[in-house]
Structure 1
Amino acid sequence: MKHQEVGVDFWAMGKAMLTYGALTALCWVMLRLFNTVFTLPRRLRAQQDQIQNSLKDLQKRFPDLNITEEDLQNAEKELDDLIKENDKDKEDKLNKKEAIEEEAVPEETKKDL
């Protein structure tokens, strides 16, 4: 029996590895898409039902409450204004605190600086 050598084709092996990896990734994406196609409508329907139930509960609790789109837009503007005022108050407090800290430093240490 003659001595035989086995030649390893690294290029073909690498190509096959990348091909099977890409095929696996595509299959995973396809399965996720199928899952989404069958579960998304059910989730959206449940979310819509939950919103409708919440609105019905609000109408039962507050029958005179009639919210329009303009009211919602005004509420968003008011919320933005409140956030801006809150930020300004925080900045003012920080500035006052820094001013107090500067006054609290004795004159001798200021001279050393």
Structure 2
Amino acid sequence: MKHQQVSVDYWSMGKAMLVYGGLTILCWIMLRLFNTVFTLPRRLRAQHENIQDTLKELQRRFPDMNITEEDLKEAEKELDEYIKEDQQKKEENETGETPQIEDKKSL
């Protein structure tokens, strides 16, 4: 048996690597989409039931109060704003800036 010379075709090897890499990424994206299609409705249904349970609990605890889903969403937004303001105040205090104290006379 004779010794045979083996030549490596780098161009074909690189193209094949890129094609297989692209196919792998596309398959991963497709699997994620299938997963989302099957799990998203369940998550949305659970979230909706959670909001409804919260509304029922609030209406049971406070029967005179008329609370809607929009009110709850607005309350969440206000809570997020308060948290952000609190974080900003903490950051200002950490940087060494002293908060301005107002005189009671000026109030």
Identity over the aligned pairs, expressed in percent? Answer: 63
Query: Which residue number in structure 1 is paired with residue 17 of structure 2?
Result: 17
Q: Which amino acid aligns with 2:62?
A: F
Query: What is the rounded CA distance, in whole Å, between the counterparts of 2:62 and 2:2 in structure 1?
Result: 95
Q: Which amino acid aligns with 2:10?
A: F
Query: Which residue number in structure 1 is paired with residue 26 of structure 2?
Result: 26
Give the total of aligned pairs: 86
Query: Which residue number in structure 2 is paired with residue 43 of structure 1?
Result: 43
Query: What is the rounded CA distance, in whole Å, between the counterparts of 1:60 and 1:50 in structure 2?
Result: 15
Q: CA deviation at 1:95?
A: 6.0
Q: Does 1:94 align with 2:98?
A: yes
Query: What is the rounded CA distance, in whole Å, between the counterparts of 1:17 and 1:46 in structure 2?
Result: 43
Q: Which has the higher contact order (CA 8 A, sep 6+)?
A: 2
Query: What is the rounded CA distance, in whole Å, between the counterparts of 1:66 and 1:55 in structure 2?
Result: 10
| Cα RMSD for the two superposed structures | 3.1
Q: Please list every run of at least 4 consecutive aligned residues from structure 1 whose deviation after the TM superposition is greater than 3 angstroms.
A: 67-70
Unaligned runs of 5+ in 1: 97-113
Query: Which residue number in structure 2 is paired with residue 110 of structure 1?
Result: none
Query: Which residue number in structure 2 is paired with residue 103 of structure 1?
Result: none
- TM-score normalised by the chain length of structure 2: 0.65
Label 1:45 to 1:8 Cα distance change in 2 as closer, same or farther (>3 A): same
Query: Which residue number in structure 2 is paired with residue 64 of structure 1?
Result: 64
Query: What is the rounded CA distance, in whole Å, between the counterparts of 1:48 and 1:67 in structure 2?
Result: 15
Q: Conserved in 1, the CA contact under 8 Å of 2:55 and 2:67?
A: no
